[in-house]
Structure 1
Amino acid sequence: MDAIGKTDMNYSPESLQAFAQAVALGSFSAAARKLGKSQSTVSEAIARLEADLGLELFERGGRQPQLTDAGRSLLVRVEEILAASDRLQHAAARWSEGVESRVSLAMSDAYQSSRYETCLAELEARYPDLEFECLIAEHSDVIELVEQGRADLGLLAAQGRYPPQLGSAAVAERAEFGLFVAQGHPLAQKTDLALGDLAGWRLLRLNTVGDTLAIDDGLPSSGGRCWSAPSYLMLLEMACNGFGWAELPRWLVAGYAPGRLAELDVPGWPRSQAVDALWSRRRPLGPVASWLLERLLGRQAAFQGGF
């Protein structure tokens, strides 16, 4: 095929999704189950993509297909195309007729922004008859709620990678986390602390219900002396009661426990954390959810003129 033919070629979304899912899940059969397709359909879709590209994306000699060097390199480009497709769907939804009656947002306590309050005020004024639901969740629980369709959008502390069926974008604001203990806790009286010095004291750690992500928060092990909870607000209450030390969003401490907790002075803390917005590529967002997503991302100008 000549260069012009390759330039004009269109790659089917099904082939790109099959490739991304196979990479993420490690096998064609797992990708087929996730996509609700037969394994032969997924294999054929990937084979068509390889034929269109003129490249082998997987080495199929072993028990499980392994990415070739070309496959590893082109995976980034495939993800970029899928992301561009998401943006096109969102733009089309904003201009299409029909507005959904209900929107659900799953959000982490890590996210706190004056933009959110402004968005809700605008949402109420723009769509007064809308049923809006806010779910508080963290890490993998946010991901599962969006994957299952329980939430249209999610906001969470940024993860390294997401399942390929989810789209993501960074919001403008970052979260600030610190290490906190009750004012009367022995650690509150110590100075010149290093992170390793906390290992001898009970850690209050976030542990989501879904627990599908291997979260490496860099906190020292407490030798099994660890209590956990699925929300930062519950960890805050544990810390206020003197049960141990915890990593907490600083805004949450300032808003819900002023004067009750001491922030530990440890090198490298407080730390700044990026926050991502999530949506499902398998269920295109409606006009209201698309509008809310863009506003949370700080893209107000895109909506001048309305729908």
Structure 2
Amino acid sequence: MFNLEQTLAFVTTVEEGSFSAAARKLQKSQSSVSIGVSNLEDELDIELFDRNTRKPTLTEAGNRLYHQAKLLLRQADKMNSYALAINNEVESKVVIGTDPAAPLSCLDSILLKIDREFPNTEVEIRLLNHLSLQQALLDHTVDLGIHFGADAYPQYLNFASIHQYKWLCVCSPDYSLASLDIISNEELLAARQIICESMLHHPVLSKTSIFSQDTWQADNLTQCSHLIELGLGWGILPSDWCAERFELGSLITIEPEFNQTQMHSALDFVWASNRNIGKVCRTIIEHFTVQKSSHI
């Protein structure tokens, strides 16, 4: 039965162009590389190289098997990486919960760090409102969470504020409120407001961000924004989310009478302290807690 060493000798010879170059790359003798390839040919009963040319040239069968051999070596590397991750207490999967009203970009630094430092860890992202996310963290069905901050947190939940969002009142350029310089409270009260469903369950946003008597609800920020862009109502959205849509001209800001001061909300990174966590979660927690302390 052929082995990975023979397969590696074959693939390296193809990629380096000769047995001697492959030997230098693998830091082996040329004869051991040549013998490894010959043994592989014997095991497979297939001629991989045409040796009548000055340099070894792949046969048609050799070319087909070369691509399979590369996949085999890649899979072997992946097995080694998985084994190393298990031995180093790296989680095979991390579940991250995020507020549906928060732009997905709030996860960028987390996802990039996991991809860079823990490429074998699977990531699952769940959209959960404020209360559901906190309960999922306490139940240990979610590992890490990001949501808009509240005045108090349940016992065993730790947090670090990672971003400050400014909320903007927006509508479509074609919406009836778009042509008004200042919108009275009565006009706003009568106009339909599009809200993200998670705001209804938030202890702060439910009191400060829902104004109209006529409301339509959407599950997440993308749906909410889409309904506003269609001209079906006005809404309050995070400024980071709106920036690109302002450039495209699909949204504009409006100036309600009630909005005399800018509205801000802290986005908090949240995790449970009463559980054992793996290396991935520890690394992410340290990243945000160090980041927070460096800004103090």
| TM score, norm. by length of structure 1 | 0.57
State yes or no: 1:161 paired with 2:146: no
Residue 246 of structure 1 aligns with which residue?
235
My pick for the range that moved more, 103-112 or 155-164, is 103-112
AA partner of residue 228 (structure 2): A
Residue 279 of structure 2 aligns with which residue?
287
User: Which one of the candidate residues 240, 260, 266 is aligned to 1:274?
Assistant: 266
User: Which one of the candidate residues 118, 121, 124 is aligned to 2:115?
Assistant: 124
- Determine the C-alpha separation between the residues in 2 that align with 1:276 and 1:260: 29
Residue 27 of structure 2 aligns with which residue?
none
Tell me the CA shift for residue 210 of structure 1. 9.3
Residue 81 of structure 2 aligns with which residue?
none
Q: For the pair shown, which has the larger CA radius of gyration, 1 or 2?
A: 2
- Determine the C-alpha separation between the residues in 2 that align with 1:118 and 1:214: 26
Residues 194 and 140 of structure 1: CA distance in aligned 2, closer, same or farther (over 3 Å): farther
Tell me the CA shift for residue 265 of structure 1. 2.1
Post-superposition CA distance 1:77-120 (Å, at most 9, x none): xxxxxxxxxxxxxxxxxxx9522211111123655598853443
- Determine the C-alpha separation between the residues in 1 that align with 2:95 and 2:112: 16
- Determine the C-alpha separation between the residues in 2 that align with 1:298 and 1:114: 20
- Determine the C-alpha separation between the residues in 1 that align with 2:150 and 2:284: 21
Tell me the CA shift for residue 179 of structure 1. 0.8
Q: 1:200-279 alignment to 2 at 5 Å?
A: 200-208=190-198, 211=201, 213=203, 215-219=205-209, 221-223=211-213, 225-255=214-244, 258-266=248-256, 267-268=259-260, 270-279=262-271
Higher helix share: 2
User: Which one of the candidate residues 114, 125, 143 is aligned to 2:134?
Assistant: 143
Q: Identity of paired residues, percent? A: 20
Contact 1:228 1:235 in 2 (8 A): yes
State yes or no: 1:182 paired with 2:172: yes
Tell me the CA shift for residue 207 of structure 1. 2.1
Mark the runs of 5 or more structure 2 residues left unpaired by the alignment: 1-86
| TM score, norm. by length of structure 2 | 0.59
Post-superposition CA distance 1:119-167 (Å, at most 9, x none): 4333222112111222233422332332332321111111111222322
Residue 55 of structure 1 aligns with which residue?
none
Residue 81 of structure 1 aligns with which residue?
none
AA partner of residue 276 (structure 1): D
Give the match's secondary structure for 1:164: coil
User: Which one of the candidate residues 192, 195, 198 is aligned to 2:182?
Assistant: 192
Contact 1:119 1:292 in 2 (8 A): yes
Contact 1:180 1:246 in 2 (8 A): yes
